[in-house]
Amino acid sequence: METLIVVLFVLGYLAITLEHNLKVDKLIPALAMMALMWAIISLGHLQVFEVNTDLKELEPTHLEEILLHHLGKTAEIIIFLLGAMTIVEIIDYFNGFLSIKKFIRTKSKRGLLVIFSILAFILSAIIDNLTATIVLITILQKVINDRETRLWFAGLIIISANAGGAWSPIGDVTTTMLWIAKKVTTGKLIGYVFLPSLVCLAVPVLIASFLPAFKGEIKNLEEDTLNVVTHKRGAAILYLGLTAIIFVPIFKTITHLPPYVGMMLSLAVVSIFAEIFSKAKINISSIDEESDAHATSSPLHKSLSKIELPSILFFLGILLAVAALESLGMLFHFAENLNSTIPNSDIVVALLGVGSAVIDNVPLVAASIGMFSNGIDDHIWHLIAYSAGTGGSILIIGSAAGVVAMGMEKIDFFWYLKKISWLAFLGFIGGFLTFVLLRDIFG
């Protein structure tokens, strides 16, 4: 039975990684393998376990209890992401992100490279790397007309966004998972991962600035390309939304409540101001026919309708599928065998980072949480956060930021492999060595 579960997981995983070849949304195999794996556990009456991190051993438990436990942990992540996504969509409803255009005041390609890279690094830490990539490529399309030049900028934005997302608990799904699972704290994560992430950004940007693609000035840049009509409250809602998201880790530190509680509070505050700014009635919970008129004018309703539910359900499927392997004790035993075969955990995590360029980093990090029983803020968790967050930049399909950029600019896989991958790899190695060096010096 256990062998069948592993085969199901491998086949489902393969279908996810070959999503573009099979032309089947990765949501479908994720949900299918999750449901089938748990069904086999139930029908086969297999023994399930809970990992005791204090004693570093497996403790038998009941199926209903362990499934509810994993569902609760997964729901924390999903509700958190729903809140963050909604706030971002509310900002976009008011064209708030276009306020960022005021930072762009140069025609120099090298200058624009630095500006976009820094913006991607900072924004991704606040609104997550996926959203930051969408926002900046949208602005990029309004600034640069030449597609070949734009592709180079998009490639560096992917690297910068992934680097920025790695050092923030709300910058990447994987770091959020580690944070909610109480493997890292906000202060320690920023303290240990910020500098390596900065090196991961600086190395490729510095090298790229000397490449022919970033020499000279942008041609045919009209003065009115940036004069996009924005809502008069766009800047206000942008700053309010970003402040509300940044407030979440502070709320958690003060109240010791799960992060999703703070995110819901932030969403409520932003929604109130959004309704006031749009002069629409506050009508959040009503879903009857009489509320349709309000729904069409409500920023909250509009934003909720634009949330990518397939991504949310994908997280549900993949996290509960990995949870099935964890509940059977497979990940625990795999970690023990891996540690005995490769005693150096740095090499294991480095392989995890490089592997995230090929395989989705969400299940990799979910697996690592079940594999390692190290305590909160152990260095291995910070290194996993860095590696999984930045390693995906090596291939364009290795991160959500890369996939969305690929779709927006129709970037060819092999073009990215030839032009950008080596820059991303040098940045990844530079940041990784920086982390190890700082850890060995300061402990």
Predicted confidence pLDDT, tens digits, the chain (443 residues): 889 999 998 898 888 777 777 888 888 998 999 999 999 999 998 888 886 655 566 778 889 899 998 898 888 888 888 888 888 889 888 888 777 776 677 788 899 999 999 999 998 998 888 878 888 887 887 788 888 889 999 999 999 999 999 999 988 888 988 998 889 998 999 999 999 999 999 999 999 999 998 988 876 554 444 455 566 788 889 889 889 988 888 898 899 888 889 999 999 999 999 988 887 444 444 444 444 444 446 888 888 888 878 878 887 888 888 888 888 888 777 767 777 788 788 888 888 888 888 766 777 787 788 777 788 889 999 999 999 899 989 988 778 788 778 877 888 888 998 999 999 999 999 999 999 999 988 86
Concatenated DSSP letters of 226-287 = G-----TTHHHHHHHHHHHHHHHHHHHHHH---HHHHHHHHHHHHHHHHHHHHT-----S--
Q: How far apart are CA 48 and CA 60, in angstroms?
A: 6
Q: How far apart are CA 278 and CA 107, in angstroms?
A: 35
Angle at 344 between CA 342 and CA 350, to 5 degrees: 95
Note the pTM of the prediction, 2 decimals: 0.74
Amino acid identity for residue 202 in this structure = A
**CA distances for 178 relative to 73, 155, 389, 428, angstroms:** 11, 27, 12, 20
The contacts of residue 129 (CB under 8 Å, 6+ apart) are: 161, 162, 164, 165, 171, 172, 389, 399, 400, 401
- The whole-number pLDDT of residue 181 equals 85
The contacts of residue 224 (CB under 8 Å, 6+ apart) are: none
Residue 345: how many CB atoms within 10 A of its CB? Answer: 17
Beta carbons of 76 and 260 less than 8 angstroms apart: yes
> Across 5-56, where does the E strand assignment appear?
48-52
If you search the block for the tokens 């900065």, which residue do you land on? 198
Strand partners, 61: 48
Concatenated DSSP letters of 372-399 = ----TT-HHHHHHHHHHHHHGGGSGGGS
Q: How far apart are CA 281 and CA 345, in angstroms?
A: 55
Q: How far apart are CA 382 and CA 387, in angstroms?
A: 9
Strand partners, 28: none
Q: How far apart are CA 140 and CA 151, in angstroms?
A: 10
- The whole-number pLDDT of residue 290 equals 40
